[in-house]
């Protein structure tokens, strides 16, 4: 045993240990990357005709749990699938047209009559990163397609996240805890869910930047070095350029500093680290056009500014105290600090109330007042990711980490240093936010990994120690006493022995074996969750046939490619905003609204058109130059994320703008049911959304037996008629239906009477057998 100890402590083994560390980190990075490829490789293996082009974007799909029933229901998350399409389109533009054109890009193919100033309304970090990687690879004479860079960016950055987590945890405890944390975050499903290959989303690089910024902050605080503070500010700037979640950092670091001041842990190091971060970081964040003057004007950033002022004050007071050591003066100064702090918060409140500083934006405010979004901003509440998290989701995403997490936080309390305060605050804040919103599980995962690693590493430190206690018989005078006492020692008082600790091999082996099993099960769980829940492409729907073979439903791409090939290049497509980015990315056509929901009224216009009668909808379609209308219909296949299920949100959003014309109440039966069958209300049956979804649908079934498999409803025997639209395309499984907007009638009639006339003429032809027509000819 002692020879083993000597070997481990030997200077010459240091290199071996270093090598081991490098090998472990590389393995972790490899595991992190390979576990994210479940979604890409099966599509290679399928030997599908398109071959390599199957590395498609937007594979991310989140799973939420049917609350109450406990069974897993797969919900389409509206954000995760489609955002990558816009990012990809922007990256292509960047690579093709260069940086300056990208910066000034006015996109006239979205938000049709309005257009979008893209350069000023996006976070450019992701596109610039992939553009830089693309150009570097070309410089190294590896000409890779930009699409492959985009698809594989998230796995690559997850390796870097593992490294950043290692560094962060190393600052908290030691290297072994760091390696554990890196291994955890490499495969934890909570993070994989947003970073599988193909999810080319802002979160792909944001979590790496988050962890690395926090690491640099801790480093700056520990050393009191302005250099690390400046690096922290630079990575904060990168983070601001990459993700809107930078506000989390903007509030975490000031909160940490504030708590340290309250705990009486103010030190010159804190001043140096915080002020160098704040001065450079704020100025840096204002360079991003989308952020602009927000750091001065909006409430989310006021905490950082306030703590900056407070630290100046505290620093000045400390300085004066150093000059004049008088007790009376000190109390005076403490009172001064308090008064100034209270005064400045009062001024802040005053400025916010009077409107000089913008109040909390709805998205952030809804994190505090959880009922706010549902009442006031339906567009925020309509996204399934903005729902509260159910308990099983925590266990599903984090498995054993979720119960090691509180233990790790407790251990941070027991060795409370400046940096541990940070982990504690981060844990509390992130837990709250993850509880409020499913999507914010992502920011919780890193701190769970860190503190679980701290806890587990403490356990391993205790039980893996091969130290043997110094034998008590060495001391001569003590030995006699012990011998005399020995008969009296029984099992119960064994703890009173002078040597405290766990030195029995049996207990060590038992505990270590248990935790090894937990760790193996953790790996199995993560792999299972990743391959089953988080790696299903959302553009291509996969289903299983009774014999177990896989059946691919590819309606989305079928329809989008139809649009791409068979419509004029400047055709305008109207659809609900969920599909805006996909249409822009895959069909390459102009859309009216898309997932960047910056103009609520415009979305409400689309909602109004979808939810009103034909006579009302047609002028709206004409005014917006709409050529095609696209709806998603899952009734044939039982695909629940279709437009009829989203219809209520369209109505709500439209009602928010035109409460007189669109009324949600009208779409419910007198008993308050939302029905599509015979019992549906007239308003429902006459809305163009209903008509477009069920147009000609009954022709698939024997008469009177049309069945909607999502709503489990038997549809009316007579299908709806459409006067203002022509069916242009319906995909194989009826998921995507595209309608062409009719032109104005040649004779100036409205469409309903024109259609009625056409129908009547046909009937008269058949019955009168052309007699009248001949007579007319004779007269002329």
Partner 1 sequence: HNSPPSDPLSILKDILNNYSKSTPQRTKLIDAFLGFLVITGVLQFAYCVVAGNYPFNAFLAGFSATVGQFVLTASLRIQSNPANKPEFASVSPERAFADFVFCSVILHLFCTNFIN
- What does the binding site for partner 1 look like in residue numbers (CB under 8 A)? 223-227, 229-230, 233-234, 267-269, 271-272, 275-276, 278-280, 282-284, 286-287, 293, 296, 312, 315, 320, 322-324, 326-329
Q: Is 371 helix (H, G, I), strand (E, B) or coil?
A: coil
Alpha-carbon span 516 to 521, nearest angstrom: 9
**Segment (H or E) for 741:** strand 736-741
Smallest gap from Cβ 227 to partner 1, in A, equals 4
Of 344 and 640, CB closest to partner 1: 344
Task: Say if residues 655 and 663 touch (Cβ distance below 8 Å).
Answer: yes
Alpha-carbon span 552 to 544, nearest angstrom: 9
Smallest gap from Cβ 267 to partner 1, in A, equals 6
* Alpha-carbon dihedral angle through residues 455, 460, 462, 463, given to the nearest 10 degrees: 140
* Both tokens assigned to 169: 């945890």
Of 263 and 521, CB closest to partner 1: 263
Closest CA to 751 of 614, 609, 572, 611: 614
Smallest gap from Cβ 329 to partner 1, in A, equals 7
Alpha-carbon span 96 to 133, nearest angstrom: 14
Of 329 and 365, CB closest to partner 1: 329
Of 280 and 383, CB closest to partner 1: 280
Closest CA to 90 of 150, 42, 49, 48: 150
Work out the number of other CB atoms within 10 angstroms of the CB of residue 176. Answer: 18
Smallest gap from Cβ 424 to partner 1, in A, equals 23
Of 231 and 715, CB closest to partner 1: 231
Smallest gap from Cβ 356 to partner 1, in A, equals 12
Of 221 and 735, CB closest to partner 1: 221
Of 333 and 609, CB closest to partner 1: 333
Alpha-carbon span 175 to 672, nearest angstrom: 61
Beta bridge partners of 630: 738
Of 110 and 282, CB closest to partner 1: 282
Of 224 and 306, CB closest to partner 1: 224
DSSP 298: B
Count of alpha carbons within 13 angstroms of residue 291, beta-carbon side: 27
Task: Say if residues 538 and 58 touch (Cβ distance below 8 Å).
Answer: yes
Smallest gap from Cβ 347 to partner 1, in A, equals 15
Smallest gap from Cβ 327 to partner 1, in A, equals 8
Smallest gap from Cβ 316 to partner 1, in A, equals 9
Task: Say if residues 405 and 427 touch (Cβ distance below 8 Å).
Answer: yes
Of 355 and 487, CB closest to partner 1: 355
Closest CA to 91 of 157, 154, 145: 145
Work out the number of other CB atoms within 10 angstroms of the CB of residue 762. Answer: 10
Task: Say if residues 435 and 174 touch (Cβ distance below 8 Å).
Answer: no
Of 356 and 474, CB closest to partner 1: 356
Smallest gap from Cβ 66 to partner 1, in A, equals 50
Of 156 and 272, CB closest to partner 1: 272
Of 271 and 674, CB closest to partner 1: 271
Of 347 and 517, CB closest to partner 1: 347
Determine the distance from the C-alpha atom of residue 261 to the mean position of all C-alpha atoms in its chain, rounded to a whole number.
33
Give the CA distances from residue 636 to residues 415, 495, 671, in Å, rounded to whole numbers and listed in that order: 60, 71, 27
Phi, psi of 288 (to 5 degrees): -80, 120
Smallest gap from Cβ 253 to partner 1, in A, equals 15
Smallest gap from Cβ 230 to partner 1, in A, equals 5
Smallest gap from Cβ 282 to partner 1, in A, equals 7
* Both tokens assigned to 753: 């009477």
**Which residues contact residue 555 at a Cβ distance below 8 angstroms, ignoring those fewer than 6 apart?**
541, 731, 732, 733, 734, 735, 736
Work out the number of other CB atoms within 10 angstroms of the CB of residue 413. Answer: 11
Alpha-carbon span 767 to 763, nearest angstrom: 6
Alpha-carbon span 16 to 546, nearest angstrom: 54
Of 327 and 551, CB closest to partner 1: 327
Smallest gap from Cβ 336 to partner 1, in A, equals 13
Give the CA distances from residue 633 to residues 62, 246, 658, in Å, rounded to whole numbers and listed in that order: 21, 37, 26
Alpha-carbon span 570 to 589, nearest angstrom: 7
Smallest gap from Cβ 288 to partner 1, in A, equals 11
Of 271 and 395, CB closest to partner 1: 271
Q: Is 728 helix (H, G, I), strand (E, B) or coil?
A: strand
Smallest gap from Cβ 363 to partner 1, in A, equals 25
**Segment (H or E) for 212:** helix 203-223
Beta bridge partners of 543: 551
Smallest gap from Cβ 396 to partner 1, in A, equals 43
DSSP 727: E
Task: Say if residues 669 and 679 touch (Cβ distance below 8 Å).
Answer: yes
């Amino acid at each position: 045993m002692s020879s083993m100890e000597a070997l481990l402590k030997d200077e010459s083994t240091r290199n071996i240990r270093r090598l081991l560390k490098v090998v472990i980190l590389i393995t972790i990075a490899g595991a992190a990357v390979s576990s994210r490829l479940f979604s890409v490789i099966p599509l290679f293996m399928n030997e599908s005709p398109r071959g390599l082009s199957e590395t498609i974007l937007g594979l991310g799909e989140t799973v939420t749990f049917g609350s109450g029933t406990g069974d897993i229901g797969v919900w389409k998350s509206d954000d995760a699938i489609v955002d990558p399409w816009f990012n990809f389109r922007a990256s292509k533009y960047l690579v093709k047209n260069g940086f300056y054109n990208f910066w000034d890009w006015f996109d006239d193919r979205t938000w049709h009559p309005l257009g979008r100033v893209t350069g000023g309304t996006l976070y450019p970090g992701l596109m610039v990163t992939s553009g830089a990687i693309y150009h570097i690879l070309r410089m190294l004479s590896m000409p890779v397609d930009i699409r492959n860079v985009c698809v594989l960016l998230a796995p690559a950055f997850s390796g870097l996240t593992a490294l950043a987590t290692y560094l962060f945890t190393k600052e908290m405890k030691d290297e072994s805890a760091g390696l554990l944390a890196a291994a955890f975050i490499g495969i934890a499903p909570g993070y994989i869910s947003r970073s599988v290959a193909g999810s080319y989303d802002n979160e792909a690089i944001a979590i790496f930047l988050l962890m690395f910024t926090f690491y640099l902050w801790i480093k700056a605080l520990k050393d009191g070095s302005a250099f690390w503070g400046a690096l922290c500010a630079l990575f904060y700037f990168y983070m601001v350029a990459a993700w809107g979640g930078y506000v989390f950092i903007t509030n975490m670091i000031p909160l940490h500093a504030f708590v340290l001041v309250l705990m009486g842990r103010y030190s010159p190091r804190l001043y140096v680290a915080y002020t160098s971060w704040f001065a450079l970081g704020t100025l840096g964040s204002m360079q991003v056009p989308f952020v602009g003057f927000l750091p001065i004007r909006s409430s989310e950033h006021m905490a950082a500014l306030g703590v900056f002022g407070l630290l100046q004050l505290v620093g000045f007071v400390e300085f004066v105290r150093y000059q004049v050591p008088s007790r009376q003066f000190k109390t005076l100064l403490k009172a001064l600090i308090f008064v100034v702090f209270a005064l400045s918060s009062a001024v802040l409140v005053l400025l916010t109330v009077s409107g000089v500083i913008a109040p909390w934006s709805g998205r952030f405010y809804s994190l505090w007042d959880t009922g706010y979004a549902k009442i006031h901003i339906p567009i925020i509440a309509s996204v399934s990711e903005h729902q509260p998290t159910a308990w099983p989701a925590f266990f599903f995403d984090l498995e054993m980490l979720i119960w090691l997490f509180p233990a790790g936080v407790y251990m941070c309390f027991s060795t409370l240093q400046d940096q541990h305060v940070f982990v504690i605050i981060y844990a509390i804040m992130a837990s709250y936010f993850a509880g409020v919103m499913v999507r914010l599980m992502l920011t919780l995962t890193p701190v769970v990994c860190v503190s679980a690693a701290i806890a587990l590493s403490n356990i391993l430190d205790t039980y893996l120690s091969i130290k043997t206690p110094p034998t008590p018989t060495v001391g001569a005078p003590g030995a006699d006493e012990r011998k005399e006492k020995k008969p009296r020692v029984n099992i119960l008082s064994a703890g009173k022995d002078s040597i405290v600790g766990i030195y029995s091999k049996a207990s060590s082996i038992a505990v270590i074996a248990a935790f090894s099993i937990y760790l193996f099960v953790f790996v199995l769980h993560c792999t299972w969750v990743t391959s089953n829940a988080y790696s299903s492409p959302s553009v291509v729907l996969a289903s299983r046939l009774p014999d177990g073979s896989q059946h691919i439903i590819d309606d989305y791409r079928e329809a989008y490619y139809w649009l791409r090939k068979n419509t004029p290049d400047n055709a305008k497509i109207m659809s609900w905003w969920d599909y805006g980015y996909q249409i822009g990315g895959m069909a390459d056509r102009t859309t009216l609204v898309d997932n960047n929901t910056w103009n609520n009224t415009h979305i409400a216009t689309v909602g109004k058109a979808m939810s009103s009668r034909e006579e009302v909808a047609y002028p709206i379609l004409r005014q917006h130059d709409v050529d095609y209308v696209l709806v998603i219909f899952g009734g044939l296949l039982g695909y629940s994320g279709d437009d009829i299920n989203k219809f209520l949100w369209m109505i709500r959003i439209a009602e928010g703008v035109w409460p007189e014309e669109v009324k949600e109440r009208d779409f419910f039966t007198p008993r308050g049911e939302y029905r599509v069958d015979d019992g549906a209300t007239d308003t429902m049956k006459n809305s163009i959304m209903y008509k477009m979804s069920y147009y000609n649908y009954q022709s698939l079934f024997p008469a009177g037996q049309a069945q909607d498999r999502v709503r489990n409803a038997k549809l009316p025997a007579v299908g709806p008629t459409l006067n203002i639209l022509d069916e242009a395309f319906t995909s194989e499984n009826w998921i995507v239906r595209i309608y062409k907007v009719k032109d104005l009638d040649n004779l100036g009639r409205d469409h309903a009477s024109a259609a009625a006339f056409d129908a009547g003429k046909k009937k008269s032809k058949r019955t009168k057998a052309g007699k009248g027509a001949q007579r007319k000819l004779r007269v002329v």
